[in-house]
Amino acid sequence: MAVPINEREPLSGAPYVYNPELERIEIELLLEGVYRHYGFDFRSYAYASIRRRLWKRVEGEGLQTISDLQARILHDQDTMERLLLDLSVNVTSMFRDPHFYREFREVVVPTLRTYPFIRIWHAGCSTGEEVFSMAILLEEEGLYDRARLYATDINDVVLQRARQGIFPLDRMQEYTDNYIRAGGRRSFSEYYTAKYDGALFSPSLTRNVVFSQHNLVTDRSFSEFTVIFCRNVLIYFDKQLQNRVHKLFYDSLVTYGILALGSKESLKFSQYEPCYEKISGTEKLYRKVR
**Residues at the site binding ligand SAM, with contacts judged by CB under 6 A:** 88-92, 96, 124-126, 130, 153-155, 158, 215-217, 231-233, 262
Give min distance, CB of 8 to ligand SAM, in A.
27
* Nearest CB to ligand SAM, comparing residues 215 and 280: 215
Q: How far is the CB of 269 from ligand SAM (least distance, A)?
A: 20
CB-nearer residue toward ligand SAM: 11 or 50: 50
Q: Hey, which bits of 104-182 come out as E strands?
A: 118-123, 147-153, 166-168
Q: Would you call 94 exposed, middle or buried from its count of C-beta atoms within 10 A (0-12, 13-18, 19+)?
A: buried
Closest C-alpha among 6, 290, 242 to residue 124? 242
CB nearer ligand SAM, residue 108 or residue 217: 217
Around Cβ 53, how many Cβ atoms within 10 Å?
Answer: 19
Taking the least distance from each CB to ligand SAM, the nearer of 70 and 126 is: 126
Residues 223, 121: contact at Cβ < 8 Å?
yes
Measured from the CB atom, is 147 or 260 closer to ligand SAM?
A: 260
53 vs 72, which CB is nearer to ligand SAM?
A: 53
Measure the CA dihedral 273/274/275/276, to 10°: 60
Q: Minimum Å distance from CB 88 to ligand SAM?
A: 3
Q: Going by DSSP bridges, is the β-strand pair 285-288/253-261 parallel, antiparallel, or unpaired?
A: antiparallel
Distance CA 108, CA 286 (A): 10
Report the candidate in 101, 62, 109 with the shortest Cα–Cα distance to residue 82.
62
Cα 175 from Cα 180, distance rounded (Å): 9
Q: How far apart are CA 117 and CA 224, in angstroms?
A: 12
CA distances from 237 to 44, 87, 232 (A): 6, 11, 10
Smaller CB separation from ligand SAM, 158 or 253: 158
Nearest distance, CB of residue 197 and ligand SAM, angstroms = 21
**Closest approach of Cβ 103 to ligand SAM, in Å?**
15
Q: How far is the CB of 89 from ligand SAM (least distance, A)?
A: 5
CB of 114 to ligand SAM, least distance (A): 26
